[in-house]
Amino acid sequence: MRPQTSLLMCPPDFYGIEYEINPWMDLRRPADPERARAQWRALHGTLTETLGVRVELLTPVKGLPDLVFTANAGLVVPGRFIASRFLHPERQQEQPTYEAWFRARGFSIETLPEETCFEGEGDALWLGDTLFAGYRIRSDIRSHQAIAAMLGCEVLSLELVDPRFYHLDTCFCPLDDRRALYYPPAFDDYGRRVIREFVPEPIAVNDADALRFACNAVVVGRDIVVQSGCDALEKTLREHGFTPHPVDLSEFHKAGGSAKCLVVWIPSRDDRSVPSVLE
């Protein structure tokens, strides 16, 4: 049997707010470990039981509170793992753990030039054959050039301008080949023009939903796992024929992440959603 597309997640055993590297983090607003565990289990359950997604687990490591945010591990394409180069020293320590996991499963580990920063699927999302990539807050644009060369695909670089939306996956979410959610104020004018030009049906998310991490959703076919309480967005998704699956991930918002930040896709070669340029 050929391997199926799966997700990688990391249980939040050692998750907590131990430093401040984005505007959401505040050492005086610690995460509740019990609630965080329950919320993470609910997300895991929705993905595995309700939606039937295969989820692999990474063993948590003490002292690496953000290892739960596996989206930032790197960018995974069939058989290859392009490892992140984190901006902050706090998160650079996560890298060996991710690399070891992928190496042990036979992926070729590919590294970016030393002077670049790149934070994985947090800043790189596929829409069709095009990789949309965020830069300037965490990843830098030169990492995009390197990835375009490695994968032989088009990479559209979008500048992120609001520190609250510091990764592309906090303000942009491809739904299928034609549609993507996006929060316009998180981009500059050029970025908004690029989205309107290259996404046939862009769907703008309102302020209230965006600040609830509406764009940080996990898309499984027509099913969208999204933070609960994003009422306007849920209605819009239904109108477009999608089924929202709300989960509450408020404990992870304290670190600046929600559903999408907690998973990274491991696409298999036979997955129809894998960009054709990678085949």
Partner 1 sequence: MAMVSDTVELRGHIIDSLILPKVLDEIMTLGGTFEIVDLAVGHRREDPSRATIRVTASDADRLQAILSRIGQHGAVPVTGEDARLVPADLDGAFPDGFYCTTHFDTWMSREGRWIAVERPEMDCGIRFDPATGRAETIPMHKVRRGDLIVVGHAGVKVAPIDRSPERSVFEFMASSVSSEKPKAVVIREMAAHIKTARAAGGKVLVVAGPAVIHTGAGGHLERLIAAGYVQVLFAGNALAAHDIEQALYGTSLGMSLDAGMPVDEGHEHHLRAINTIRRVGGIKQAVEKGILRRGIMHACVVHGVDYVLAGSIRDDGPLPDVITDAVKAQDAMREKIRGVTVGIMIATTLHSIATGNILPASVKLICVDINPAVVTKLADRGSFQAMGLVTDVEPFLRALAEHLVPAMSHGVS
Scanning 93-101, 148-156, 173-181, 212-220 for contacts with partner 1 by CB under 8 A, the matching segment is: 148-156
For residue 144, indicate whether it is catalytic: no
**Smallest distance from partner 1 to CB 153, Å:** 5
Show the binding pattern over residues 156-175: x = contacts partner 1 (CB under 8 A), - = does not: xxxx---x------------
Binders of partner 1 in range 172-201 (CB under 8 A): 188, 190-191, 193-194, 197-198
> Residue 159 or residue 231: which is nearer to partner 1 going by CB?
159
Q: For 38-107, give the DSSP string.
A: HHHHHHHHIIIIIS--EEEEPPP-TT-GGGG-GGGSEEEETTEEEE-B-SSHHHHTTHHHHHHHHHHTTP
User: How many residues bind to partner 1 according to rule CB under 8 A?
Assistant: 40
Looking at this protein, which amino acid is placed at residue 199? V
Based on the shown chain and the rule CB under 8 A, indicate whether residue 14 belongs to the binding site for partner 1: no
Residue 149's alpha-carbon distances to 34, 153, 154, 205, in angstroms, are 44, 7, 9, 32
- The H or E element that residue 235 is part of is helix 231-239
Task: Find all residues with CB under 8 Å of 128, minimum gap 6, and list them.
Answer: 177, 275
| Spatial separation of the C-alpha atoms in residues 12 and 67, rounded to whole Å | 8
**Smallest distance from partner 1 to CB 17, Å:** 12
Based on the shown chain and the rule CB under 8 A, indicate whether residue 279 belongs to the binding site for partner 1: no
**Smallest distance from partner 1 to CB 43, Å:** 27
Interstrand relation of 264-266 and 6-9 (parallel, antiparallel or unpaired): antiparallel
For residue 253, indicate whether it is catalytic: no
What residue ranges bind partner 1 (CB under 8 A)? 19-23, 27-28, 87-88, 114-115, 129-130, 136-138, 140-142, 144-145, 148-149, 152-159, 163, 188, 190-191, 193-194, 197-198, 277
Tell me the catalytic residues.
167, 261
